[in-house]
Structure 1
Amino acid sequence: MSIGNSPEDERPFEDVSEEAHPSIGHALRQARIAAGLTVDDVSAATRVRIAIVHAIESDDFAPCGGDVYARGHIRTLAKAVGLDPEPLLAQYGAERGGRPAPTPAAPLFEAERIRPERRGPNWTAAMVAAIVAVVGFVGFTAFKGDSDSGSKEQVAEGVTSTKSKDASPSAGTGKPTDSKPDPTESAIAAAPRDKVTVQVSAVDGRSWISAKDHNGRLLFDGLLKQGESKTFQDSSEINLVLGDAGAIELYVNGKKIDEDFRPGAVERLTYRKSDPQVG
């Protein structure tokens, strides 16, 4: 059983001095208890680990891993318990000498990068592929003569159909129709219902991103330049870390995620097949 499952048991003894000038952790803890939430509830809603929630409520920010992470956790926890995060962030900065100088995104997250494992050759898969290739070659040779004429007719029809579609002029202009889909249509078309599909686009600048599947396997880890996009799919879950969330536009399962991410903000996000649950 995790600590903090009973908000009523966590109510502290009255301390007039702390209530007059509450610390960041005390304010977050009191707001959580007033909202009737346990530490487990807050951790599940924010995806911040239980141990880190306990540490922040005790004004211990060392487990956060640095000021940038600490500020992101404070903002996330404050929103979860119904507090305005800006006064808490200002208090955090005042207690630690102000906001730290901007740090390049890639070196900041070097510790979180996972080196891909070296795997030996898969001889079983190689043997299966060789057998399939041999069987396919024999079948192709046996039926090549019978299917050659029909194949030529099908290819000719396909080329004709494609050219006629591409050459069709738009109404009243006499110019070929531009068939390139916009990003929204592409995201919707690439979103099968039995999987989770996440499209990440750097629209307002560049951002370092990391993406993992439900098994924790690294799908991508690097810098996404402005104008670039990446699409990730998994059978159940995609986990993201955004180094500069304010520069990113997200489409999840074909729908745009309208989150008010601030420039330079670090966000850890998890999306599943049922997301987005609203909108």
Structure 2
Amino acid sequence: MSIGNSLEDGNSPEEDRPSVGRALQQARIAAGLTVDEVSSVTRVRVPIVQGIEQDDFSRCGGDVYARGHIRVLARAVRVDPEALINQFDAEHGGRPEPTPAAPLFDAERIRPEPRRPNWTAAMVAAIVAVVGFVGFTLFSGGEKGDGSPVAEETGSAKPTASTSSSPSPGKSGERKPEPSESAIAGVPADKVTVKLTAEDGQSWISAQDHNGRLMEEGVLRKGQSKTFSDSKRIDLVLGNAGAIKLFVNGKEVKNLSHSGSVQRLSYTKGDPEAG
């Protein structure tokens, strides 16, 4: 007769927890992103993203690169990367322990050699001192034979305009220049300048210059701002465009998009409409 159900009949919380790849896939679907969009934002190739979502990490090139891909993909789909990395380590044997540094024996320590006295410098200094003393003696003897005073009294000297204590008329009423209303309004005309501010929430952002070089990639948290500048063009990817306040070349781009939408934008020199 069985008194109660054994612990083996139920599943532990760890067994109910989805795998690393399944968790990333569910978060991507919940964020409304496709595999191609995640690949474009994170720069992780589509086959690697698909393999990770199927818990196949063979394309990553090792556990170190797999952890890096998991971290980037987790940030793109707005989940905690540390929890997924810890789960990955637990399922793949954990992280390797760092190798301690070997102790340094006294015989291996580099001991400084004793400094030898610089006799050449001492001799040169002695010669310079002798020549200076002789020259000073001759010069002092020549001044004693001259009956003219060395300097006249300066107590009766009249004050000049440079020593006047009255302030100059132009300095007392001088006004400091007032700063401009917006620092972004003074952007150079020969460049394209973009400023992003996360006002209504956080958003994943990516910015590239005209050569395709990555300028910034990551999560822009609420209240943070980023400014980018290039001589020709800036390409943007906004994961949550509705949360971003965008200034292009000193002008605000209004009605950007609704919250949660992904936007790909490109701007050049001139007004935002020219981008």
Choose 1 or 2 for highest CA Rg: 2
TM over 0.5: no
- TM bucket, shorter chain: 0.3 to 0.5
- TM-score of the aligned structures, taking structure 2 as reference length: 0.37
- TM-score of the aligned structures, taking structure 1 as reference length: 0.37
